[in-house]
Amino acid sequence: MKALEGIKILDFTHVQSGPTCTQLLGFFGADVIKVERPGVGDATRKQLVDVKGADSLYFTMLNHNKRSITLNTKTDSGKQVLEKLVKECDVMVENFAPGALDRMGFSWERIQELNPRVILASVKGFGPGPYEDCKVYENIAQCAGGSASTTGFRDGVPMVTGAQIGDSGTGLHLALGIVTALFQREKSGKGQKVLAPMQDGVLNLCRVKLRDQQRLKAGPLEEYSQFGEGHPFGDATPRAGNDSGGGQPGKILKCKGWETDPNAYTYFITQAAVWKNVCDVIGKPEWKEHEDFATPAARLPRLNEIFDAIEAWTMTQDKFDVMEICNPLNIPVGPILSMKEIAEEPSLRETGTIVEVDHPERGKYLTVGCPIKLSDSPVDVERSPLLGEHTEEVLTEVLGYSASDIESMRTDGAI
């Protein structure tokens, strides 16, 4: 028994944001039916191809636990199949450019007519307003959602982050919206529209930066290293480099081997509660009681001096040894792990967070399994479907079409 067993998802998503959402629902046991254009499919199938002729990792890693059917929804018989799918499914998920679904003849009104219980879940770049008609990709969302202006270094350009907070982050928001709407449907009996705009999703993840925007009215942000460095604050939340977001100052520091290994670094947090332990570890016991260092307030203008001293110690240690030494002392530290190290980490394999999947076209590859663990809903990661692999199966088993119906749809170019 899986959490979402029995829930049918009409997955009309493409690229990254929508597919991450439906993949999660698939991990939780929903029957996800991905609808793709005949002969073409999701554009990511053939983007960043690393194995000639095979679906790319971009596609395979975002589309596990799904069935694929091909359908040209701009033909009459293709539209009829889509109508039947809307009637049959609990949720329809899409992330087309604004207006595309309406142009196809599937407005929210029409969808409700077909199935009043269906939930229509959409990712768009922006919510209602001046930009609602714009197409949006990951980095645009990071820029428009406040992330880029607050990421990077004070004296550098705005930066995007490698974490796909615009696409995968919004997919997560959408998945929560969908299961919440399913929960409400239990009581109301009705479907509803769920919208997750990427700008809003990114802003939600940048909540603490809007907090800091408002704190600026009360004076400089003392926990930002620019305060200790004597640089005045402007009228907007600045970029904070690698400063930690809260009131516990932290920094990325070099570890042994940094000269040749780009990831020989650790994050080190000088949590106030364990300041004395920090002083002992770095060989500065005199700072424990010294008036310039003993309290968090006294330390704020001296953070650079403090982190220089800590780094002088971390540079003598391997990044994993820093963790071994600091953890028993309750000092929060974290090694900078490369993707190579993460891919090889046995504990992530054991928990199913990193999974090796076999694929008929490309062989074995690694993917990220379900990052959310339910104790009563085990996850089996199944390889992504080939384009149209399940067209006949879905048309006959789910929608009740006959072999001759399917043949004539093929002749029409509808599937």
Q: Summarize as ranges the residues that interact with ligand CAO (CB under 6 A).
A: 15-18, 35, 37, 71-74, 95-97, 100, 103-104, 123-125, 135-138, 167
Residue 15 CB, nearest distance to ligand CAO (Å)? 3
Question: Rounded to 5, what percent of the chain is helix, strand, coil?
Answer: 40, 15, 45
| CA 192 to chain CA centroid, nearest Å | 24
Q: d(Cα 303, Cα 310) in Å, to the nearest integer?
A: 10
Q: Active-site residue 31, yes or no?
A: no
Residue 396 CB, nearest distance to ligand CAO (Å)? 19
- The torsion of the CA quartet 127, 129, 130, 134, rounded to 10 degrees, works out to 30
Using the minimum distance from each CB to ligand CAO, give the nearer residue, 196 or 303: 196
Q: Answer for the pair 262, 243: CB distance below 8 angstroms, yes or no.
A: no
Question: Between β-strands 8-12 and 91-94, what pairing exists: parallel, antiparallel or unpaired?
Answer: parallel
Q: Answer for the pair 265, 334: CB distance below 8 angstroms, yes or no.
A: no
Q: d(Cα 12, Cα 207) in Å, to the nearest integer?
A: 30
Using the minimum distance from each CB to ligand CAO, give the nearer residue, 357 or 414: 414
Tally Cβ neighbours within 10 Å of residue 53.
8
Using the minimum distance from each CB to ligand CAO, give the nearer residue, 72 or 150: 72
Nearest to 120 by CA among 37, 196, 27: 196
Using the minimum distance from each CB to ligand CAO, give the nearer residue, 21 or 182: 21
Using the minimum distance from each CB to ligand CAO, give the nearer residue, 47 or 327: 47
Residue 235 CB, nearest distance to ligand CAO (Å)? 31
Phi/psi at 123 (nearest 5 deg)?
Answer: -105, 135
Question: Between β-strands 363-368 and 119-124, what pairing exists: parallel, antiparallel or unpaired?
Answer: unpaired
| CA 402 to chain CA centroid, nearest Å | 40
Q: d(Cα 253, Cα 259) in Å, to the nearest integer?
A: 12
Using the minimum distance from each CB to ligand CAO, give the nearer residue, 115 or 122: 122
3-state secondary structure of 356: strand
Q: Answer for the pair 222, 300: CB distance below 8 angstroms, yes or no.
A: yes
Using the minimum distance from each CB to ligand CAO, give the nearer residue, 167 or 212: 167
Residue 349 CB, nearest distance to ligand CAO (Å)? 28
Counting Cβ atoms within 10 Å, is residue 246 exposed (0-12), middle (13-18) or buried (19+)? Answer: exposed
Residue 384 CB, nearest distance to ligand CAO (Å)? 16
Residue 26 CB, nearest distance to ligand CAO (Å)? 18
Using the minimum distance from each CB to ligand CAO, give the nearer residue, 103 or 190: 103
Residue 212 vs residues 218, 271, 300, 307, 357: alpha-carbon distances, Å: 10, 20, 17, 23, 43
Nearest to 269 by CA among 241, 245, 238, 302: 245
* The one catalytic residue among 31, 90, 167, 212: 167
**Using alpha carbons only, what angle is made at residue 267 by residues 261 and 270, rounded to the nearest 5 degrees?**
145
Residue 289 CB, nearest distance to ligand CAO (Å)? 54
Residue 100 CB, nearest distance to ligand CAO (Å)? 4
Residue type, position 92, single letter: M
DSSP state of 204: H
- Positions annotated as catalytic residues are 167
